[in-house]
A and B are shown apart, each in its own frame.
Chain A
Amino acid sequence: MNPFQPIGRLAFAFLGTLGRIVVFTGLALSHIIRPPFYFRIIGRHMLEIGYYSLPVVGLTAIFAGMVIALQSFTGFARFNAEGAIANVVALSITRELAPVLTGLMVSGRIGAAIAAEIGTMRVTEQVDALTTLSTNPFKYLVAPRILAGMTMLPLLVFVADIIGILGGYIVGVYQLDFNPANYLQNTYDFISALDIVSGLVKASVFGFIVTLMGCYHGYYSKGGAQGVGQATTNAVVSASILILLFNYILTGIFFAANV
């Protein structure tokens, strides 16, 4: 047997998948911008993604903020630079932790649910039934979810920013005995609009990735319950990896010039 054969086959499979994702994304985007719009359905998904994810995202953010404050204290105390803690918490939460952790949590919560729901609809012929009822599945199933993801993730991340900084404040003031007013002043002085905006832009991209991967894997799932399970796993794994990849790329774009 030719030893390059499996490698070639893998490469072809990869390119095939990549092509399908590109086509799927193009179709999804074209349906997002063209009417008719299903406003009620968009609203329902916004509620599901935005509102019902708040507890999970809030808990994640508060612990992230707390642990950053603790960790940077142990580090900075060696250089007598404890004053920089508020700064470090604010920067790392708004630029990195809030968007990435929110993206990952939402991919587990929403990406998986989307893949399971559309996947079940696919294997029980409900997606086919939609087309026969003169309703485009991209318009009805995919576009509203992606729109809701792209708009709701920034909102969630904004909330996570506030709660994360609050977590740092709690540890800083009640455990490390900082002066509350000084801590807040430090946070306020150091944080810039770019820190927050870059985090929100990342969030929107992550919302796109999570919902797109959920829809894509659900849409192409096949083979009954097992296939749906596989689609769910693939949706979460691929979304998580893409989030980390795009986080790196976007950080590069935003902060390459002014570190």
Chain B
Amino acid sequence: MSEPEIKIRMRDVTKRFGAKVILDNFNLDVRASESLVVIGGSGVGKSVMLKCILGILTPESGSITVDGIEVANAGSAEHEAVNAKVGMLFQGAALFDSMTIAENVAFSVTARKPVSAKIAREIALMKLSMVGLKRSVADLYPSELSGGMKKRAGLARAIAADPEILFFDEPTTGLDPLMGDIINDLIVHCVEQTGATALTITHDMHSARKIADRIAMIYQGKIVWIGDTAEIDSAANPLVDQFIHGRTDGPIQMAVRR
């Protein structure tokens, strides 16, 4: 079998905030057209990892390439080239609160494609219905939506321009189980139908099993385990074992006092 094509390659990436090392010689390969899910405890640096790829944060050292373009410590031209291919759902949705929901989603379309405002709105309404948001929501402002609705609107904005790379930061957090499953199906659909590459962060193991081709786990600034979704239950890694079963005793040290 030939080597799978690598879409995103992170090599020896180190990111610190002050003295605190978040990513420590971090390595990760995301294959083209795969759905990779990254799991890991709260605050281990999952969101930081995505922001380094997007150029929102600059790592101190290491190399990050997207389709062969180096983005770590690159200029704005490289970031623009990469960002044009990426759709990102932020953990806090990050909707523009000066625009309505439909305008938010349409913005993502018009920023990238030469389409009229009318067509962009049609696309926006279609994407909103794909994430289960009713038409009546389209003309509300983000402040008028619930947390889960904002999340879904953010998701619609991320997929609106049919990007080839999708980053989802906790897409199902804050959703009820039924809606969560609709979103899981949507992510699977995006990857299978459009051939997009998806990198998803989640704590939700049910969701991870459903959408992932492969799962990777971050702990103390590194990937400690990566493998096919089917292998995760038989992973002979105590960190993974503790995490997916949600046990408090084990090698993962929780910084709480009892």
**What residues of chain A have their CB less than 8 Å away from a CB belonging to chain B?**
117, 120-121, 124-126, 128-136
Q: Is B19 an interface residue (CB 8 A)?
A: no
Q: How far is the CA of A209 from the CA of B95 in the complex (A)?
A: 29
B51, B98, B111: which contacts A134 (Cβ < 8 A)? B111
Interface core residue of A117, A134, A136 (most chain B CB under 10 Å): A134
A125 touches which of B84, B90, B157 (Cβ 8 Å): B90
If A128-B51, A129-B94, A129-B96 touch, whether A134 touches B112 (CB-CB below 8 Å) is yes
Q: Does B55 contact A (CB under 8 A)?
A: yes
Interface residues as binary, B61-95 with A (CB distance below 8 Å gives 1, 0 otherwise): 00000000000000010011001101110101011
A132, B54: Cβ atoms under 8 Å?
yes
- Complex partner residue of B80 from A128, A129, A134, CB under 8 angstroms: A134
Contact status of A129 and B90, CB under 8 A, knowing A134-B80, A134-B84: yes
Q: Which 10 pairs show the lowest CB-CB distances between chains A and B?
A: A129-B94, A125-B94, A132-B88, A128-B56, A133-B111, A134-B111, A134-B84, A135-B111, A125-B90, A126-B94
Interfacial chain A residues near B96, Cβ < 8 Å: 121, 126, 129-130
Nearest opposing residue in chain B for A125, CB measure:
B94
Min distance, Cβ A254 to any Cβ of chain B, angstroms = 39
Q: What's the Cα separation between A125 and B111 when bound, in Å?
A: 18
In whole angstroms, how far apart are the Cα atoms of A241 and B90 in the complex?
Answer: 38
Q: Contacting B97 at CB < 8 Å: which of A126, A131, A134?
A: A126
Cβ-closest chain A residue relative to B90 = A125
Let me know if A124 and B94 touch, CB within 8 A. Answer: yes
Which residue of A is nearest B167, CB measured? A132
Q: Is the CB–CB distance between B83 and A132 below 8 Å? A: yes
Residues of B near A130 (CB, < 8 A) are 96
Interface residues on B, range: 20 to 34
Q: Can you list 21 A-B pairs with a CB-CB distance of less than 8 A?
A: A124-B92, A124-B94, A124-B97, A125-B90, A126-B95, A126-B97, A128-B51, A128-B54, A128-B56, A128-B90, A128-B94, A129-B96, A131-B54, A131-B79, A131-B83, A132-B54, A132-B56, A132-B87, A133-B107, A134-B80, A136-B80
Interface flag for B108 (CB, 8 Å): yes
Which A residues touch B87, using CB under 8 A?
Answer: 132
Q: Which residues of A contact B97 (CB under 8 A)?
A: 120, 124, 126
Interface centre among A125, A130, A133 (most CB of B within 10 A): A133
In whole Å, how far is A20's beta carbon from the nearest beta carbon of chain B?
A: 15
- Residues on the A chain within 8 Å of B79, using CB: 131
B111 and A131 contact, CB distance less than 8 A: no
Residue numbers of B with Cβ under 8 A of A are: 51, 54-56, 76, 79-80, 83-84, 86-88, 90, 92, 94-98, 107-108, 111-112, 157
CA distance A117 to B157 in the complex (A): 21
Residue of B nearest to A128 (CB): B56
Question: Are B86 and A132 within 8 A (Cβ)?
Answer: yes
A126 contacts across to B, CB distance below 8 A: 94-97
Extra 13 A-B pairs, beta carbons < 8 Å, given A117-B98, A132-B54: A120-B97, A124-B92, A124-B94, A126-B95, A126-B97, A128-B54, A128-B56, A128-B90, A129-B94, A131-B55, A131-B56, A132-B56, A133-B107
Shortest CB-to-CB span from B11 to chain A, Å, is: 22
Taken together as a complex, chains A and B put the C-alpha atoms of A190 and B139 apart, in Å, by 57
In the bound assembly, the distance between CA atoms of A124 and B91 in angstroms comes to: 10
C-alpha spacing A152/B56, complex, angstroms: 33
For B109, the closest partner residue in chain A by CB is A133
When distances are taken between beta carbons in the complex, the residues of chain A under 8 Å from B88 are 129, 132
Give A124 to B96 CA distance when docked, in angstroms. 9
CA distance A126 to B107 in the complex (A): 13
Q: Please measure, in the bound complex, the distance between the C-alpha atom of A215 and the C-alpha atom of B92, giving whole angstroms.
A: 23
Q: Give Cα distance in the complex from A117 to B97, angstroms.
A: 10
A124 neighbours in B (Cβ, 8 Å): 92, 94, 97
Contacts of A134 in B (CB 8 A): 80, 83-84, 111-112
Are A133 and B108 in contact, with the CB atoms below 8 A?
yes
Q: Give the docked Cα–Cα distance between A200 and B227 (Å).
A: 67
- On whether A125 and B54 interact (CB within 8 A), knowing A131-B79, A133-B111, A134-B84, the answer reads no
CA distance A210 to B88 in the complex (A): 33
Q: Quick check: B92 and A125 within 8 Å, CB to CB?
A: yes
Residues of A contacting B94 in the complex (Cβ-Cβ under 8 angstroms): 124-126, 128-129
Q: How far is the CA of A124 from the CA of B80 in the complex (A)?
A: 21
Q: Whole-angstrom distance between the alpha carbons of A65 and B40 in the complex?
A: 67
Closest to B87 in A: A132
Residues of A near B90 (CB, < 8 A) are: 125, 128-129
